[in-house]
């Protein structure tokens, strides 16, 4: 996370009113959202730039929340199978009343998806309540206070007195694994409950491991 700022906003060298925003956050993950909301509560003009169609970043869409929700979904369905009252039924209602067999992957992913969708709604509402503009697109600096944004409607340029770079990170693999091909999830169709891996799938996965 990095803040780009030139000059002291309380002095005469930078006048915040000459910019479109007082703060622009690039990235809508936990850092970007919290920075944006805090600035908005202090009366600042704030925008968030997010390259994906929904806010939340990796934390919400592919990281912390989905992984923990998946784990809890497995435990809840296991409680159903064991006849425990604290399980969650496949449609998300409580208490669970079924003692049926184990759920398939589609039901587990469905449970995760419903939680993620709910969190997206909560975060959208929070940003809207605080009058924070959300701009979908990828931003590039053209100078310390100016961003050029590639959106679905074309390019857009905005200026800001302060810019918070909160785009997250990428994993760094150990050196001896950097030149290896990644394992590709060819088995997605049967993870979703639509069948079993074929011999071709097994052969392809075996080759990718070596």
* 112 and 58 co-located in one domain: yes
The per-residue pLDDT for range 108-117, each reduced to its tens digit, is 888 888 889 9
| CATH number of the domain that residue 67 is part of | 3.50.50.60
pLDDT at 1: 47
Nearest to 47 by CA among 143, 142, 157: 157
pLDDT at 149: 96
* 117 and 44 co-located in one domain: yes
107 or 191: which carries more pLDDT confidence? Answer: 107
pLDDT at 11: 41
Phi-psi region of 147 (alpha: psi -120 to 50; beta: other; left: phi over 0): beta
Lowest mean pLDDT among 1-15, 74-88, 95-109: 1-15
Q: By residue range, what is the domain housing residue 132? A: 2-7+18-169
Most confident stretch, 14-28, 129-143, 174-188: 129-143
* 25 and 63 co-located in one domain: yes
* 144 and 190 co-located in one domain: no
Query: Is 154 part of a structural domain of the chain?
Result: yes
Q: What is the CA radius of gyration of the chain?
A: 23
Alpha helices in 11-96 (DSSP H): 30-41, 57-61, 64-81
* 110 and 204 co-located in one domain: no
pLDDT at 101: 56
* 79 and 122 co-located in one domain: yes
Nearest to 50 by CA among 63, 39, 64, 36: 36
Query: Is 175 part of a structural domain of the chain?
Result: no
* 187 and 151 co-located in one domain: no
Domain count, the chain: 2
The per-residue pLDDT for range 159-207, each reduced to its tens digit, is 999 999 999 877 777 777 666 665 454 444 444 444 455 666 666 656 6
Query: Is 176 part of a structural domain of the chain?
Result: no
> Could you tell me the CA-to-CA distances from 190 to 69, 162, 197 in Å, in that order?
21, 48, 6
The per-residue pLDDT for range 31-75, each reduced to its tens digit, is 999 999 999 999 999 999 999 888 998 888 888 888 888 888 888
The CA distance from 34 to 175, in Å, is 34
């Amino acid at each position: 996370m990095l803040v780009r700022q030139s000059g002291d906003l309380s002095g005469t060298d930078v006048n915040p009113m000459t910019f479109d925003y007082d703060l622009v956050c690039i990235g809508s993950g936990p850092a970007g959202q919290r920075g944006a909301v805090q600035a908005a509560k202090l009366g600042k003009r704030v925008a968030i730039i997010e390259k994906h169609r929904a806010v939340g970043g990796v934390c919400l869409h592919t990281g912390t929340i989905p992984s923990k929700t998946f784990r809890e979904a497995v435990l809840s369905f296991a409680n159903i199978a064991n006849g425990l009252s604290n399980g969650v039924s496949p449609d998300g209602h409580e208490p669970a009343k079924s003692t049926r067999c184990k759920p398939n992957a589609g039901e587990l992913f469905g449970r995760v998806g419903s939680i993620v969708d709910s969190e997206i709604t909560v975060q959208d509402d929070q940003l809207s309540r605080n009058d924070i503009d959300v701009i979908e697109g990828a931003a590039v600096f053209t100078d310390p206070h100016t961003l050029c944004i590639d959106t679905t409607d074309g390019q857009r340029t905005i200026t800001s007195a302060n810019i918070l770079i909160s785009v997250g990170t990428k994993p760094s693999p150990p050196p001896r694994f950097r030149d290896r091909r990644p394992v590709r999830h060819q088995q997605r169709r049967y993870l979703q409950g639509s069948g079993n891996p074929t011999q071709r799938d097994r052969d392809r996965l075996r080759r990718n491991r070596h």
